[in-house]
Amino acid sequence: MSHPAPPAADLAGRHVVVAVCGGISAYKTAELVSRLVQRSAAVDVVMTAAARKFITPLTFEALSGRPVRTDMFRLRDSSDPQHLALTEQADALIVAPATANIIAKAAAGICDDLVSTMICAAACPVVFCPAMNHRMWENPVTRRNVEALRAAGYRIVGPEEGWLACRHVGMGRMSEPATILQVVEEILRGAGRS
């Protein structure tokens, strides 16, 4: 009986932070984390309170092999300003799913939880992977916020058109993990280590 070849370890030595926000497509983020780990990336996951309504930290701990951070004020040790330290060590920060809420917060510079504070303090490239209802995506305020993030140098991946959790077809579906991974690979290749 033959077994499939293991994934390439081409992301060894790379560190990616994945910020999970509250949307049904958080299940896709679990697959993204798994793919990154299978390719030997070190992955730290941070979650908003809303994200934990859709998927548990235990899922991401099992996939990443690392503790999940959920609280800005629960430090691992007394010198752990995690909203700074994690992104200082990271090669990329991926926000997936990026809800209309987190996009609005980031565009306005609001820092009221661990994820929004990490985005503002990030010392690495930040990739937003939007996912929301099609009317939310088409809202002029959301569009303005997305353009503000692009203008500030953030990468936006997606969304795509398809079946949405609201049982409609439209633009707002989070990009597939393979698509997001391609963008992350480009960033990591461009960020070469010296």
Catalytic residues, which ones?
166
- Residues 151, 142, 16: CA angle, nearest 5 degrees: 60
Distance of CA 187 to the CA centre of its chain: 14
Q: What is residue 69's DSSP assignment? A: B
Residue pair 63/37 in contact by the 8 Å Cβ criterion: yes
Q: What angle do CA 50, 26, 5 make, to 5 degrees?
A: 150
Cis peptide before 159 (omega within 30 of 0): yes
